[in-house]
Structure 1
């Protein structure tokens, strides 16, 4: 039987988005905070992960950084899966603020997807 362990990325450094005025997919380039890196190192010590055979990661920086730490600590290869990602609220890739992201999310909810 195949087992999957789903691990969420460590804490991202979201304030970089506002600092650099990142837009669209650029907003997904933020790295982990120091606390986020430490979260991943602690996660890598989970006994269940000793049985893992491969790490599958989304292409987002926060996920890849998490996967890289796990890969180093567990001695596993990483496969990047482009379809492993969050809902994309702005297919124009032009949103540039948390306010615009909230507006898009509210529109999604109001129209049931």
Structure 2
């Protein structure tokens, strides 16, 4: 089923499964990137298509699957673009800590 066939809006669009072609593309993608076998785990958002893709990866690669509830697309009604200066500072902080939160910070 294509995502637009049911005219779903908002969060309901997140429940639409992969099409057959989408599942086939996930299979092909995994075969095209042999370095994926060297990963430690598969991290997925809770969205249906993400979970289906992660399940295909799990089946083919045998890696542990972790679902991260907070891994999702940005929500426009809860997000305001920061000033470019703030983005630059955030990126500096990210690089300084190698993308890992320091102990005691969130």
Indicate the TM-score class for this superposition, using the shorter chain for normalisation: 0.5 to 0.7
Structure of larger gyration radius: 2
Question: What is the deviation of 1:89?
Answer: 2.9
Per the alignment, residue 80 of structure 1 pairs with: 67
Report the TM-score when normalising by structure 2: 0.65
Q: Which has the higher contact order (CA 8 A, sep 6+)?
A: 1
Q: Which runs of 5+ in 1 are unaligned?
A: 1-11, 92-107
Q: Alignment length, in residue pairs?
A: 81
Q: Which deviates more, 66-75 or 43-52? A: 43-52
Provide the C-alpha distance between the structure 2 equivalents of 1:112 and 1:79, rounded to a whole number of angstroms.
29
**In 2 relative to 1, CA 17–89 (structure 1 residues): closer, same or farther, beyond 3 Å?**
farther
SS in 2 for 1:15: coil
Q: CA RMSD in A?
A: 2.3
SS in 1 for 2:66: strand
Are 2:46 and 1:54 equivalent residues in the alignment?
no
Q: Which runs of 5+ in 2 are unaligned?
A: 83-106
Per the alignment, residue 24 of structure 2 pairs with: 38
Report the TM-score when normalising by structure 1: 0.61
Per the alignment, residue 9 of structure 1 pairs with: none
